Structure 1
Amino acid sequence: MHTQKLKDLQHHHDFAVISRQGERRTWQVLVLTLIMMVLEIVAGTLYGSMALLADGWHMATHVAAFMITLLAYRYSRLHADDHTFAFSAGKVGVLGGFASSIALGVVALMMLLESGERIFHPRTIHFDEALVVAGVGLLVNVLCAWLLKDHDHHDHHAAHEGHGHEHHHDHNLKAAYAHVLADALTSVLAIVALVAGKFYGWVWLDPVMGIVGVLVIARWSYSLVGETSPVLLDESVGQHYQTEIRQALEQDADNRVADLHIWCVGPGHFAVIVSVVSHQPQAPDYYKALLKPFYRLRGLGKLSHITVEVNQCVGEGCDG
């Protein structure tokens, strides 16, 4: 009989995406955004510009979102070896991304209400002062986006080099990047509206651009919710994957799959529990070998934790 040591049968349970570089750069983005937020709120108050004041408070919501991102990074790192979690603290970063996506949705709603109010009650705007501060805000947003995007590129490059094209989706970092893009978008739209208002008198364009920004930000928020919520809710893989896995096991000998569960335990990592019934049962490793073609799920991640329960069928009635 083939024997194995206990340590060979133990699974790896750390599925958290813990990025020191991502955490450090998020701190840098937080500081830059906080400085710009204070500048816009002060400038909007001094110059009587509601556009700057609104954008300043808009940036304040992103500061809160970045703090959520940093909290998720820190929590994942501190609890990396905490065995009270079934599959590590891998979903904390996903939870942070989900919370940030909800914050994005709140920002979009606030911008929609404000833009609608300005259509019916236009405000006097000090265009020169507002353009200077909005321009500085755009430069800060571009710098922040470069910091986060550059990190994302290096992480994916490292994943390609060291893990055979394995992608670790850092939803936490992606949420922070989405917030920076949202800030950059509102700055661009504000500049376009301010230039049009200053030179052509199109004051109405300011709230219209605000509504355009709302639609784009809402789309980012919805997309991020769609990526993170299935992970948090333990959603299974597509039915076609389950069918293919079931067929791969049942095409061998007289095997029948009595129970099959596949769910996401962390970004890019899936766990599998399968119960097999057979007249001539084999060792669990035998059935794991049959699943090798599915160790990497196309476009999703990989099967990182596989548990096989083997039951012997006695007599008839095991086929259905």
Structure 2
Amino acid sequence: MEGTGGAASPFHSHVFLGEGHEKSERKTWAVIWLCGAMMVAEIVGGLLFGSIALVADGLHMSTHAGALLLAALAYTYARKHANDSNFTFGTGKLGDLAGFTSAIILAMIALLIAYEAITRIFAPVPIHFAEAIPVACLGLAVNIASAWLLSGGGHHHGHGHGHAHGAHDPDESRRVSTDGGIVALEVFETGAPPRFRLRAETGPALTAQAASVETVRPDGVRQLFAMQDQGGYLESIDEIPEPHAFTAHVQIGQQTYAVVFEEHEHAQGSAARDNNMRAAVIHVMADAAVSVLVIAGLLLARTFDWLWMDPLAGIIGSIVIASWACTLIRDTGAILLDMNPDQSMANNLRDAVENEGDQVADLHLWRLGPGHMGAIISIITSQAREADYYRSRLARFRSLSHLTVEIVHKS
């Protein structure tokens, strides 16, 4: 029986933070400063002008800022202790712990809102519409600004593992030894539709007339790509359709060279999601949803003298918040308990090993952080194969940041 760790070297990084961790940290702190400034302005303004509604909304804003502070501190702590050896599998799960805690807070807020709303149905209180409606509109504006800041100004992109296809991705570039020197073939798609790029690293420059690429996919479908000179490299005229799993036959002059490309698999759905940022966004969305409901309820109550509309809006808001909180508790709780975060990846891992006649005796797959997965796999084989062989077979699973392979040789 032989066991080995998950890297070619016995020493490897245990930093499993999500893509854009520091950017998310900065965005969260920016929203906290915005909410803090609004909180102070509302409380001071309410005390100066005698508006209890402003003071109440300012205190409510303080709970909002407090929840976001939890997310920001989790980002900061995880970053500062990312290389702390006391954390066996890094600090990537700290965001999930913060998200779980935020979800519990959200659930408590939902219960308090529901309790207050039901109380007001049976014991109505006078509503100062002239103050309450502007305050609710102000709160909605702050929540919209907060959501915009947390989303990075409306721009969000990227895989959970920080992977970007293109010229700098070594797994999308292949080097071919030809009679004239070393030629590099790559699938380039950074900021552009995917196309082949072919360049001579050593030897004479390539010409578009003397080079082409033909792909052969597993189902036998062939496609020929003509090349055009882009100054320093050749680029295919046609785009490469998905998936990028094929054998590329590179023809240079009279010689043809076969190059294999395999489609990479990344963590999907909950396995790649940043639950710390998700919790922060849900807090903002919950507050915005309540503000919209409160504004609608106040307007209807003032127009038709339906005072019951205000507490009804509160009840509806509490149900919405409770639903979001339960979903977040379920997702983050599953990660904290090391449940399998991606059953599809687990099945594909098993297939990648067993399609050559070996047997997977045991497989554990869990999440280490946003877009980072850990796996322990025990393989029974009758072949003279070592751990490095299986590690290379599983290299296409880009989100496997920590892989341990155990081999049992059977006679």
Same fold (TM over 0.5): yes
- Alignment check: 8 A CA contact 1:281 1:310 kept: no
Identify if the C-alpha distance between structure 1 residues 76 and 110 changes in structure 2 by more than 3 Å, giving closer, same or farther: same
Which region of structure 1 is more displaced relative to structure 2, 10-19 or 275-284? 10-19
CA distance in 2, matches of 1:77, 1:308: 28
Match of 2:374 among 252, 271, 285: 271
Identify if the C-alpha distance between structure 1 residues 107 and 54 changes in structure 2 by more than 3 Å, giving closer, same or farther: farther
Give me the TM-score of the superposition, normalised by structure 2.
0.65
Cross-structure match for 2:275: 171
CA distance in 1, matches of 2:287, 2:52: 21
> 1:215-254 residue pairs with structure 2 within 5 A?
215-237=319-341, 241-253=345-357
Structure with greater contact order relative to length (CA < 8 Å, sep ≥ 6) = 2
Cross-structure match for 1:3: none
1:16 aligns with 2:17: yes
- How many residues of Structure 1 are paired with residues of Structure 2 in the alignment? 299
Identify if the C-alpha distance between structure 1 residues 251 and 29 changes in structure 2 by more than 3 Å, giving closer, same or farther: closer
Match of 2:50 among 40, 46, 53: 46
CA distance in 1, matches of 2:161, 2:382: 43
- Alignment check: 8 A CA contact 1:40 1:53 kept: yes
CA distance in 2, matches of 1:207, 1:148: 30
CA distance in 2, matches of 1:10, 1:246: 26
Q: Note the C-alpha offset of 1:225.
A: 1.7
Which region of structure 1 is more displaced relative to structure 2, 138-147 or 161-170? 161-170
- Alignment check: 8 A CA contact 1:112 1:211 kept: yes
> 1:108-127 residue pairs with structure 2 within 5 A?
108-127=110-129
Q: Note the C-alpha offset of 1:278.
A: 2.4
Percent identity between matched residues is: 42
Cross-structure match for 1:318: none
Identify if the C-alpha distance between structure 1 residues 283 and 152 changes in structure 2 by more than 3 Å, giving closer, same or farther: farther
> 1:153-302 residue pairs with structure 2 within 5 A?
153-154=155-156, 156-157=157-158, 162-164=163-165, 168-237=272-341, 241-253=345-357, 255-292=358-395, 295=397, 302=399
CA distance in 1, matches of 2:341, 2:278: 22
Q: Note the C-alpha offset of 1:60.
A: 2.8
Which one has the largest radius of gyration? 2
Any idea what the Cα deviations from partners look like across 1:204-241, whole Å, max 9, x if unmatched? 10000001111111121122222212211111245565
Match of 2:92 among 85, 90, 93: 90
Identify if the C-alpha distance between structure 1 residues 160 and 247 changes in structure 2 by more than 3 Å, giving closer, same or farther: closer
Q: Equivalent residue of 1:86, what SS?
A: coil
Which region of structure 1 is more displaced relative to structure 2, 275-284 or 90-99? 275-284
- Alignment check: 8 A CA contact 1:281 1:311 kept: no
Which region of structure 1 is more displaced relative to structure 2, 53-62 or 129-138? 53-62
Any idea what the Cα deviations from partners look like across 1:113-141, whole Å, max 9, x if unmatched? 00000111111111111222222222111
Cross-structure match for 1:141: 143
- Alignment check: 8 A CA contact 2:14 2:83 kept: no
Any idea what the Cα deviations from partners look like across 1:258-290, whole Å, max 9, x if unmatched? 322111111122111112222333111222233
Cross-structure match for 2:405: 308
Identify if the C-alpha distance between structure 1 residues 159 and 257 changes in structure 2 by more than 3 Å, giving closer, same or farther: closer
Cross-structure match for 1:34: 36
Taking only aligned residues, the RMSD between alpha carbons, in angstroms, comes to 2.8
**Structure 1 residue ranges without an equivalent (≥5):** 1-5, 297-301, 315-320
Q: Note the C-alpha offset of 1:247.
A: 4.1
Q: Note the C-alpha offset of 1:169.
A: 2.5
Cross-structure match for 1:61: 63
CA distance in 2, matches of 1:97, 1:152: 22
Any idea what the Cα deviations from partners look like across 1:44-79, whole Å, max 9, x if unmatched? 993455xx6655444332222111111101101110
Identify if the C-alpha distance between structure 1 residues 263 and 157 changes in structure 2 by more than 3 Å, giving closer, same or farther: closer
Identify if the C-alpha distance between structure 1 residues 39 and 202 changes in structure 2 by more than 3 Å, giving closer, same or farther: farther
Identify if the C-alpha distance between structure 1 residues 19 and 146 changes in structure 2 by more than 3 Å, giving closer, same or farther: same
AA partner of residue 313 (structure 1): K
Higher strand share: 2
CA distance in 2, matches of 1:247, 1:137: 52
CA distance in 1, matches of 2:159, 2:343: 31
Identify if the C-alpha distance between structure 1 residues 92 and 248 changes in structure 2 by more than 3 Å, giving closer, same or farther: same
Higher helix share: 1
Which region of structure 1 is more displaced relative to structure 2, 259-268 or 71-80? 259-268
Q: Note the C-alpha offset of 1:291.
A: 3.1
Which region of structure 1 is more displaced relative to structure 2, 180-189 or 243-252? 243-252
Cross-structure match for 1:299: none
**Structure 2 residue ranges without an equivalent (≥5):** 1-6, 166-264
